[in-house]
Amino acid sequence: MDNVIEFNDFAVSSNNMNGETACWLCQKSTLLRALFCQHCGTIQPARPMDHFARLGLESRIDIDSDQLERQYAVLKRTLDPMRFAIRGMGERNHAAKQMEALEVAYRTLRDPLRRGRYWLVLHEKEIKETKADNPMIADLQGELEKATLAAQCDKIAQKAGNALEQGVMGLMQSLRTQNWQLANAILAEVEGLEAVLSDARARRATIAPHMGLSDDELTSVK
């Protein structure tokens, strides 16, 4: 297997993944973070590791998204089921589990909001019962309940969307400065805004199913 060396060097060593374990097939000692056994070249089980390590990224709240895309593409190619098609059931299963874990890691890290939430969990700083206390959320929900036009829903969705964007930036900043309490508060707020956004879309769909935004609707709420 010509990938063995390359991919065993792939993951960074920031996550306690330098330990060793026995290869499930040849039983020789192999690195915990290795995708392939360095002795027999066999794909290894998807072992528990954090999403950053899984993608061979440094564990940082700000990630280089180009690097993320590159690592993901390479790993995805390496784990392509086609490559394991003629292998035994064990190898095919391990490759599939590795791919699953890779997808979860990628989807989590790619999205700043999910990454932020994950960062709190990873650092055991998540406070589950945090309530959003931004009055804007309640105001928007109230407006939404009274909305009778698609354009009103769109306006509310737009406001929520803008606030959401600001929220994500605030979340990143609070995580960078390790202001965990603020980060939890912003996260609760952002979740409230996400709820407004999806409610606004749902309401719009019931008011104007299959309809685009017309000029009449836009002007009528001004």
Choose among 174, 217, 169: nearest CA to 193.
169
- Judged by CB under 5 A, the stretch of 33-41, 51-59, 99-107, 122-130 that binds Zn ion is 33-41
* Cβ 30 to Zn ion shortest distance, Å: 6
- Spatial distance between the Cα atoms of 112 and 92, rounded to a whole number of angstroms: 32
Nearer to Zn ion by C-beta: 23 or 200? Answer: 23
- Spatial distance between the Cα atoms of 103 and 114, rounded to a whole number of angstroms: 13
Q: Is 193 exposed, middle or buried (0-12, 13-18, 19+ CB in 10 A)?
A: buried
Tell whether residue 37 is a contact of Zn ion (CB under 5 A): yes
- Spatial distance between the Cα atoms of 140 and 160, rounded to a whole number of angstroms: 8
- Judged by CB under 5 A, the stretch of 17-25, 82-90, 95-103, 178-186 that binds Zn ion is 17-25
- Spatial distance between the Cα atoms of 196 and 90, rounded to a whole number of angstroms: 46
Binding mask 165-184 for Zn ion (x = CB under 5 A): --------------------
**What is the helix (H) or strand (E) element at residue 144, kind and residue range?**
helix 135-146
Query: Which residues, 6 or more positions from 51, have their beta carbon under 8 angstroms from its beta carbon?
Result: 104, 105, 106, 108, 109, 118
Tell whether residue 39 is a contact of Zn ion (CB under 5 A): yes
- Judged by CB under 5 A, the stretch of 40-48, 157-165, 198-206, 211-219 that binds Zn ion is 40-48
DSSP SS3 for 30 = strand
Binding residue count for Zn ion, defined by CB under 5 A: 7
- Judged by CB under 5 A, the stretch of 29-37, 132-140, 168-176, 183-191 that binds Zn ion is 29-37
Tell whether residue 40 is a contact of Zn ion (CB under 5 A): yes
Tell whether residue 26 is a contact of Zn ion (CB under 5 A): yes
Which residue is associated with the tokens 């709240």?
A: 61
Which residue is associated with the tokens 């055991």?
A: 124
Q: Which of 23, 43, 156, 183 binds Zn ion (CB under 5 A)?
A: 23
* Cβ 29 to Zn ion shortest distance, Å: 9
Residues that bind Zn ion (CB under 5 A): 23, 25-26, 37, 39-40, 42
